[in-house]
Structure formats: structure tokens, C-alpha cells
Structure 1
Amino acid sequence: MTVEYTVEWTRPESEREGTPLAVLLHGYGANERDLLGMIPGLPQDFTYASVCAPVAMGFGAYTWFDLDVERLAYSSDAARGAVEDLWGWIDSVRSQHTSVTLIGFSMGMAIGTSLLRTRPEAFAAMVGLSGFAVDPDRGEGLPGYFDDAALTAQQVPFFWGRDQEDPIIPQEMVDYTHQWANKTVKLTKVLYAGAGHGVVPQEIAHVNEFLTAEVLKA
């Protein structure tokens, strides 16, 4: 069954052709409007598409897949299903654009890195904010699904911003993500003291510089 996504676009369809696309993926319990405040601080050459996760939680909150918030535990099959569904949407819009870049916050970073690890050649770059990469060994649905060898060969530019004292993402997930990123992507990692589980203005400025250098001027 095709998933119908709610998407906030920064350009009308008639003005998207030939622009680079940046796909914004929000975190757990948010919606497609959550990351829009970042866009004025990012390069305006892009068309930005902020996608709402499909699983409704009530009161305007959504998730990409069911999550045990206490332990940040999830079903690998559910995560894989969310990635497959999102590929359907990306493939339906990508032909209009010169490139596709992913920007994911928290759980949105988990979804974005999972997309990146299935078809790394499809993306110009990725930005991960206050999130994590999915460990495929945590469950039955993902071992063998990711192609990290292809990602390593591709060396996709990857910006990872976070606060060392982030109160939400467990240290074991940070450690796994750090180990994974060091081996597979062209990593730019920056720590932001005081950001907590959020995004600060300095970080947005750094993401602006990253997107300009790695996508627009590449």
C-alpha cells in the first residue's frame, strides 16, 4: 500500500524543476512543521521538503515507527518498513531535482541514515542532528539490508551535530553511530555545548556552510 505523506514545500511545484532538493525528517512526536524554523538560515538555492512521519500519535504528533521511549527500543522490521515506504515518495519526486540531500533530527536522523545506507549513490550529502544511526544487529529485520560497503566507497559528505550532554540519546547509540560514521562517510562532526536535545543557531550556520560547500559548490 502506498503511503500518502503530508509535505511542506518551500517552492510551488512549478518552481522546483532543476533545483537541489533537501528532505527534512523530523523527530519522534513532532510533525512536518517542526524543522521549518531552520530553513531561513539555510541556503535558499535548495527546494526544501519537510515530510511528516506517517504514524499518528494524536494531538499533531507523529512517528516514523513505533518506539519504546523509555528504552529507545524498536522493531527492526518496523524501521525497515518505514524506510521502504519513504523510498517510494523520494523516487516519485527526485527526477525534478539536480540532487537529493537528507536533513534528519533525532529519529529523523535514524531514518535518514537508513535511507543513506540502502542506496548511498542516491544522495549528495546528509545532515544528522541530535540523533543516531540504526544498529542492524539489534533485531531480525535489518541484518544484510544496509550496504555499508557501498556507502564507504561513495564517501557521502555527512554532517553530525549534537550536544555531548544530550539527555535523550543513550550513550550506546552515540557510540555505535560514531563508530559507524567514522568508517563509512566523509564525516564532519561538531559538538554544541548547551544545545541539549535541540538545534542552536551556531549549528544552523554550520549546516549552511556545509550544504554550500558540499552540495552547491561541489
Structure 2
Amino acid sequence: MTTNDAQPVALISRNDDSRLGTPLLVFLHGYGSNEQDLMGLSQYLPDEFTYLSVRAPLQAGPGFSWFPLSQEIDYSIESVEDSIRSLWAFLEPLAKQHSSVTLLGFSQGMAMATSLARYQREAIAAVVGLSGFAIEAPESDLFKDEALIAAPLPMFWGRDLADPVITRDKIAYTLGWAPKHTELVHETYPQIAHSVCMEEIQDVAAFLNRVVLDKQQD
């Protein structure tokens, strides 16, 4: 994905008419990674979904970043807002072709997933956040948290309590924000550090079945 008029870089699990009307799950990778990183998880997740993995717009070492980070993983709210608007401009026309949109973000990708849901609550069915955090942005007009208070977002958050990357202030904010704005499933996985494990992915699959697929059948 880019912030200009160039075509975003993305991978999709099926790119024919068979995807039309299916639930869409969008993978949002972490800092310094790329669109190939999370796509492999799709083999362990429900077959009913179409899976889309999007490349972040900014170069970051050998990979890409959704917004610039300092050594303390701090960021500017303006850069986050720019990236969220750009991502939604890409996803919005695709969303109209699918029965629902779910976001799965790892690390910085979780910040993007929760932020996009705060920007476009009615368009997002659920969020999965892995080893990440939510953005603290009290002055931002982009984050419409009142919409989530009115209609809490189904959200899965998995992490290691000893994650060495996400700083304590960001975890503390997310721990305060998530229960007030989401229907939260919060699971911890010892010794995965800043990564994922098969037990966690199995829990994510069960979550997706329950909060997305089962609801579509009601």
C-alpha cells in the first residue's frame, strides 16, 4: 500500500468471483515486515474467509512500516491518521464486495487494526490483535470511540505478559481502553515473547467462527 496514487501492494487468497460475498479478513503486518509475513496464518483459519494481506506504505529497514516509530516506539498522531485514511481508501471498495470485514494485526498492525475500527466502526465486524497495542489519541477527530461505546467491537487480543517490545505505557493504555470499547477476549501465552504460537492461532480461529461466521448464519 502507498500513500500516493500508486496501486497498493497486497496478496489475496482468491482473486476470482468465488470471493464475492465471502467474509474478508485483512492481515496488517508489524513494523519492518511485509505483506507475506502473516499470509501463512490463513491455512490455520476458517476456509470461509477470503484473506487479504496488505503491505504498509513506508520503507522500514528490510521491510515496511505503517507509520514512523522512534526507539521508544513512539509516533505522531498525524502520521497514524494519514495511514488510516490511506488504508481505508484502499479497503472501502473491496469491503462492498464482501459480507463483512475483519482486521487482524500483529504488533504495529494491531495499532492499525484497532485504529481503523475506531474510524469506521460500522464497516468492521471484528478485530484480532496479536502482540500489539491500541493508539492513545485523545485529541484526534479520527477516532470515534463513542461509536464503539454504543456498539462494542468484538475483539481478540493475544500476547505474552513478558512481551519485550511493546512498552508498558502502551499496554496500560490498551488494558484501559479495550474493556470499555470492545467485547474483549484477552488471552495470554507464556514464553512467546513478541510472536505468535499455534495455540493462539487456534484460539483466533475459534473466535472468528463464533463472532463472524456464526453471526452471519443467524
* Fold equivalence (TM over 0.5): yes
1:144 positional shift: 2.9
| Cα distance in 2 between the residues matched to 1:116 and 1:109 | 11
The answer to whether the Cα contact below 8 Å between 2:31 and 2:60 also exists between their aligned partners in 1 is no
* Partner residue in 2 for 1:130: 131
* Partner residue in 2 for 1:35: 38
1:3 positional shift: 5.1
* Partner residue in 1 for 2:76: 75
Q: Which amino acid aligns with 1:146?
A: F
The answer for unaligned runs of 5 or more in structure 2 is none
* Partner residue in 1 for 2:108: 107
| Cα distance in 1 between the residues matched to 2:21 and 2:40 | 24
Identity %: 43
- Work out the number of aligned pairs and report it: 212
* Partner residue in 2 for 1:62: 64
Q: Could you give the per-residue CA deviations for residues 160-208 of structure 1, whole angstroms, max 9, x where no partner exists?
A: 0000000000111001001000111100000000110000000000000
* Partner residue in 2 for 1:98: 99
1:58 positional shift: 4.7
Q: Could you give the per-residue CA deviations for residues 77-103 of structure 1, whole angstroms, max 9, x where no partner exists?
A: 111000000010111211110000000
The answer for unaligned runs of 5 or more in structure 1 is none
Q: Which amino acid aligns with 1:16?
A: R
RMSD: 1.1
| Cα distance in 2 between the residues matched to 1:27 and 1:128 | 11
* Partner residue in 1 for 2:159: 162
Which region of structure 1 is more displaced relative to structure 2, 4-13 or 172-181? 4-13
1:2 positional shift: 3.2
* Partner residue in 2 for 1:203: 200
1:67 positional shift: 1.0
| Cα distance in 1 between the residues matched to 2:140 and 2:10 | 30
Q: Could you give the per-residue CA deviations for residues 123-169 of structure 1, whole angstroms, max 9, x where no partner exists?
A: 111100000001004xxxx5232111111111121000000000000
The answer to whether the Cα contact below 8 Å between 1:2 and 1:85 also exists between their aligned partners in 2 is no
| Cα distance in 1 between the residues matched to 2:202 and 2:178 | 22
| Cα distance in 2 between the residues matched to 1:145 and 1:37 | 32
Runs of 4+ in 1 over 6 A off after TM superposition: none
1:9 positional shift: 0.5
| Cα distance in 1 between the residues matched to 2:194 and 2:107 | 8
| Cα distance in 2 between the residues matched to 1:4 and 1:162 | 33
1:2 aligns with 2:5: yes
The answer to whether the Cα contact below 8 Å between 2:77 and 2:140 also exists between their aligned partners in 1 is no
Q: Which amino acid aligns with 2:77?
A: S
| Cα distance in 1 between the residues matched to 2:53 and 2:39 | 7
TM-score normalized with structure 1 length: 0.94
| Cα distance in 1 between the residues matched to 2:93 and 2:125 | 17
